[in-house]
Amino acid sequence: MAALEKVKKKGDGRSKMEDRKPKSETVGGLLGAHISTAGGVANAPARADDIGATAMQIFTKQPNRWAEHEVAPEEAAAFRDALAKSGVRFTNAHDSYLINLASPDAALRAKSIESFRAELRRCHALGLDALVSHPGNFMDDRADGIARNADAITQALEQEPGATRLLMELTAGQGTVIGATFEEMALLLKKIPAKLRKRMGVCLDTAHVFAAGYDLIKDYDGVWARCDDLLGIERLGLLHLNDSKAPLGSKKDRHQLLGAGEIGAGPFERIMRDHRLANIPKVLETPKGDDMVTNDRKMLKMLQAFAGKGAE
């Protein structure tokens, strides 16, 4: 792949990205979508099987409500049993959309920290691999907001130990949101104590980074080179594969079916054939359409077909 020729060279002439060539157990690696937990989280693994997923993302609560709950032992046991019987090998949750750990409002920030801690507890109880979280909105001053966000993450991780990895998601950059650039995400992570940072990583959403100004069409090589230089591919714990209804640099978070948006099919084919990304779980957040399975099945088959052409 010509892409590798443009990656910044280091040491023995290979980039640090080229040094890592993970092997996938199945064509396309770990692939899936956001799965409904209607009726209980234990119902999700079978729904993931229904679309042929080996990875799935869930909500552990209603994302647009503050109401929290603790996972009962029987709920956790039922979920773990259903998961073991399914073909799913990677499971993550996405936290509540209401959480704003960077808020200058003391009451909202305190409420957000408690909700975030509850998210971590539910993930630990269910045995999830990762929790995806958006950086907050600074509202007043960007530097202060980043510091508040980092302090809140530190507090929550200290108070809620567990094996679930926290993945901070790159954002589209709309309004006062934090984390739309690799530099800013790196700064946020750097402010977390090293012992806690080991429990963290990043989630890259293709629609978000495209809307933030990273050109996955004309500068695919450069985008991944900058990601590796500033964040490190080893920190990349999950990819959200979404096309974008919004154009490059629009700073608008608008998801579209793969190949039907502004990004187009090309970059997704390159992602699926890129050996550097082979073992990173990949999850769809694309529109569901009239039902919960048809579009997801179609998108997963497309990605598997891309991967079947061979790695580059």
pLDDT tens column, 148-175: 999 999 999 999 999 999 999 999 999 9
- Torsion angle in degrees (nearest 10) through CA of 118, 122, 125, 130: -110
Residue 8 pLDDT exceeds 70: no
pLDDT tens column, 89-126: 999 999 999 999 999 999 999 999 999 999 999 999 99
pLDDT on residue 5: 33
Least confident of 25-34, 131-140, 269-278: 25-34
Whole-structure pTM value: 0.91
Higher pLDDT, 204 or 6: 204
Least confident of 26-30, 90-94, 238-242: 26-30
pLDDT on residue 26: 60
Radius of gyration for the alpha carbons in the chain, expressed in angstroms and rounded? 19
Cα–Cα distance list, 92 to 25, 61, 232, 268, 306 (Å)? 19, 13, 21, 21, 24
The one-letter amino acid at 39: G
Contact 311, 275 (CB under 8 A): yes
Mean pLDDT of the chain: 92
Closest CA to 35 of 91, 77, 79: 91
pLDDT category of residue 15 using cuts at 50, 70 and 90: very low
pLDDT on residue 286: 98
Q: Could you tell me the domains of the chain?
A: 2-298 (3.20.20.150)
Residue 4 pLDDT exceeds 90: no
pLDDT on residue 55: 98
pLDDT tens column, 39-86: 999 999 999 999 999 999 999 999 999 999 999 999 999 999 999 999
pLDDT tens column, 263-280: 999 999 999 999 999 999
